[in-house]
Amino acid sequence: MACLTSMIEPLRAANEIAGQSAFRWTLISEAGSAVESSAMVAFHPSADLHAAQDVDYLIVLSPPDARFDNPRAGNGALRALERHGAVLGGVSGGVFVLARAGLMEGHVTSVHWCYATAFADEFPDCATTDEVIMPDRRRVTISGAAAGFDFSLMLIEQQLGPEVMTEVACWFQHPLVRGEGVRQKIPAMRVASTSDMFPDPVAGAMRLMSENLEDPIGIADICEQIEISPRHLERLFKKLTGKTPLSYYHSLRMTSARQLVMYSNRSMREIAQAVGYTTTSPFRQRYAEVFGLSPDEDRRKINMFRARANSPLPSAPPLGAPLP
């Protein structure tokens, strides 16, 4: 719901401020039937996907696991819109729908950090970025709801000028207008792409960890490569992240594992191997220590929530708990 309202409300305000209907929008769904958001608020589309014509942009909003009831017809409708000149876009999980339709091949995709592992696993040949907005020819991918607001501000500036855009931003008390090239803000304990916030030794260690999830590298080897003593690296990590390098590494691996548990159909054995475990037993034990339940239980719980009127996914416990 936030993704939808974040894109529409700035356009509505721009029309009001400018005194003209510079922007029009229509809600559509695959079959034209009502759609319920993860906040359990129903939206009533005006048309179905196959009736959508003469649009400048078609922006897909969906969870990452969304699939068309009729994939052949749904994907065909998206391709037809592209052939007729529409720019195709996806916000947050909507990029998965575009990628499954084969529409992101040869294009760079902005992927929300919480979906990055799952997206890379399902679409290993798709180029990705952690920039909040990625326009790439006749595609535009947007990492999340706030980035959708920023994209609408970009459209307003293009159509109505910077003064109207600034007034719209002020209406909504949106103090920072982000454009192309701005990277996502990512929790330091979640992924290593925040490594540019840290001193070179810590950033280098984080980068090596993120590049070696499937075949973990020893902390001593990391220290040797970045030319720092293990004791010095541990002091820096504890000061900057509150964790030892090894604990941080474990958290990084488990975060990637949970994305695969939540957003892929891979077996637990395959997921364990993807994050550096040769067998599932120690993987399941570590997962339970971090998240409070086994990966199998976590997947069942997630599927149960999905089955109940597309309810929001349960939140995982924070990753700050100490690891043995």
Mean pLDDT in order along the chain per 10 residues (324 residues)? 90 95 93 82 87 90 91 94 94 96 95 88 92 93 92 94 92 76 59 62 90 93 95 92 91 90 90 94 93 90 58 40 34
Helices (H), 126-197: 145-160, 162-171
Residue 11 to residues 1, 4, 7: CA-CA distances in angstroms?
16, 11, 7
pLDDT at 318 (0 to 100): 39
Q: pTM for the whole thing? A: 0.69
Count of CB atoms situated within 10 Å of the CB of 121: 17
pLDDT at 240 (0 to 100): 85
β-pairing, 35-36 with 42-43? antiparallel
Count of CB atoms situated within 10 Å of the CB of 265: 9
Tokens of 161: 């000028």
Residue 291, SS3 per DSSP: helix
Residue 148's Cβ-count burial label (10 Å; 0-12, 13-18, 19+) is buried
pLDDT at 173 (0 to 100): 87
Q: What angle do CA 268, 272, 277 make, to 5 degrees?
A: 150
Taking the C-alpha atoms of residue 270 and residue 312, their distance in angstroms, rounded to an integer, is 26
Taking the C-alpha atoms of residue 99 and residue 242, their distance in angstroms, rounded to an integer, is 37
- Matching residue, tokens 């939808």: 4
**What is the end-to-end Cα distance of the chain in Å, rounded?**
39
Residue of 169, 171, 160, 170 lying closest to 19 (CA atoms): 160
Taking the C-alpha atoms of residue 4 and residue 149, their distance in angstroms, rounded to an integer, is 9
pLDDT at 203 (0 to 100): 87
Residue 149 to residues 4, 29, 37, 319: CA-CA distances in angstroms?
9, 21, 18, 29
Taking the C-alpha atoms of residue 144 and residue 178, their distance in angstroms, rounded to an integer, is 13
pLDDT at 43 (0 to 100): 85
pLDDT tens digit sequence for 98-118: 999 999 999 999 999 888 888
Q: Are 133 and 143 in contact (CB under 8 A)?
A: yes
Instruction: Enumerate the β-bridge partners of residue 89.
Output: 59, 140
Residue 175 to residues 3, 13, 168: CA-CA distances in angstroms?
18, 16, 11
Contacts of 83 (CB under 8 A, 6+ apart): none
Taking the C-alpha atoms of residue 242 and residue 322, their distance in angstroms, rounded to an integer, is 10
Contacts of 280 (CB under 8 A, 6+ apart): 268, 269, 272
Q: Are 249 and 209 in contact (CB under 8 A)?
A: yes
Complete domains list, the chain, with CATH: 2-171 (3.40.50.880), 192-307 (1.10.10.60)
pLDDT tens digit sequence for 230-264: 999 999 999 888 889 999 999 899 988 998 998 88
Q: Are 100 and 118 in contact (CB under 8 A)?
A: no
